[in-house]
Structures are given as C-alpha cells and as structure tokens.
C-alpha cells in the first residue's frame, strides 16, 4: 500500500488534520500538532499533553478501528479558545468509547511489567474533560482548561 501524506488546514485559531489510518503518519501528526500549538502557547508541558492525547487516541483508532478504505478516515481538529484548548477526533471505524475502557491498575502493571494498556490511561490522565458519542463514526471531544497554568502568547 502506498503511504499517504496527511492534509492540514489552518483557520485562525483552529487546525484540522485529515489523515489515513496508517501508523506511519503518527510522527507527522504529532509534529504538526506541536507546531500549531507552539505558535500560540508557551507552556511546553501542556503542548506535550495535547500531543500525547492525540497520539494515544489515533494510535488506538488505527490499530483497532477496522476502517473502510477511505483515503482520510480520521480527522483531528484543534481549537485554541480563551478558556481552553479543545480537541475533536473523528473516525469512521468501529465504535469504541474510551470512557468505558477499564483502566489498568498501574501499580500491578509496573510490578508485572506489562507492555500494553497504558495509552487510554495516559490520555484520560492529561485531559480535563472528555466526551464521547457515536454518530456515523466515533466522535471524541476533549478539553484542557486554561486554569491549569496555560500561558497564551
């Protein structure tokens, strides 16, 4: 299969990323998320947390989503607001609600040195608000509030 590039659209305080369901696109995804956020945010920790949440969800979507053969079945939208930074991730794969995912016991996980299962835990740890709905595909809305030491330029 030919590797596809991701498509980017920027509008003022918003960025849209359209991407194929290919793991090989993950680095470009987090690279563009970083670049967009860096234009408006100084707090590197917050920038990383948003990159991490996006990476974890999109990785999960690509690995387990069973997508149709659309060119760009995954959309990531980021919006910088006065009160928060919001993310909307849509995909056309099978239904998966990360809020219903049973979180691992991290202490047990570390003791047994298990490899998998940390992604959804991390995503839920770094986001302040998460909502899920299924409407012709998965729609995940997430927010990080400005009160959590975000300094906008």
Partner 1 sequence: MKEALKIRIEKSETKPPVAVFYLQGYLQANTLEQFTQTIDSVLDEGIYHLIFFCNDIAFASSAAFGELLNILDKVEQHDGRLVMCCLSLPVAEVFDLLDFYDIFVVTNTIEEALQKITEKREGSGNQ
Q: Which residues bind partner 1 (CB under 8 A)?
A: 23-28, 30-31, 34, 44-45, 48-49, 51-52, 55-56, 59, 62-63, 106, 109-110, 113-119, 121-122, 125-126
Closer by beta carbon to partner 1, 125 or else 133: 125
Beta-carbon neighbour count of residue 121 at 10 Å?
16
Phi, psi of 34 (to 5 degrees): -60, -50
**Nearest-approach distance from CB 18 to partner 1, in angstroms:** 18
**Strand partners for 80:** 85
**Nearest-approach distance from CB 113 to partner 1, in angstroms:** 4
**Nearest-approach distance from CB 40 to partner 1, in angstroms:** 18
**Nearest-approach distance from CB 62 to partner 1, in angstroms:** 8
Pairing of strands 129-134, 14-19: unpaired
Closer by beta carbon to partner 1, 38 or else 81: 38
Structure tokens, 146 = 């400005």
CA distance 25 to 75: 13
Phi, psi of 10 (to 5 degrees): -120, 135
Structure tokens, 60 = 């999960």
Closer by beta carbon to partner 1, 64 or else 134: 64
Closer by beta carbon to partner 1, 13 or else 72: 72
Closer by beta carbon to partner 1, 80 or else 123: 123
**Nearest-approach distance from CB 5 to partner 1, in angstroms:** 11
CA distance 34 to 139: 22
């Amino acid at each position: 299969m030919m590797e596809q590039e991701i498509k980017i659209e920027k509008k003022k305080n918003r960025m849209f990323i359209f991407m194929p369901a290919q793991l090989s696109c993950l680095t470009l995804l987090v690279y563009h998320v970083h670049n967009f956020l860096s234009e408006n945010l100084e707090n590197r920790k917050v920038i990383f947390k948003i990159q991490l949440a996006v990476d974890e969800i999109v990785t999960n979507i690509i690995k387990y989503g069973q997508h149709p053969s659309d060119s760009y079945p995954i959309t990531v939208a980021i919006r910088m607001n006065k009160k928060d930074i919001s993310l909307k991730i849509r995909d056309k794969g099978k239904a998966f609600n990360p809020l219903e995912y049973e979180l691992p016991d991290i202490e047990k996980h570390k003791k047994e040195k298990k490899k998998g299962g940390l992604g959804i835990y991390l995503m839920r740890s770094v986001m302040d608000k998460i909502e899920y709905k299924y409407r012709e595909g998965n729609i995940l809305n997430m927010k990080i509030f400005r009160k959590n030491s975000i300094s906008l330029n």
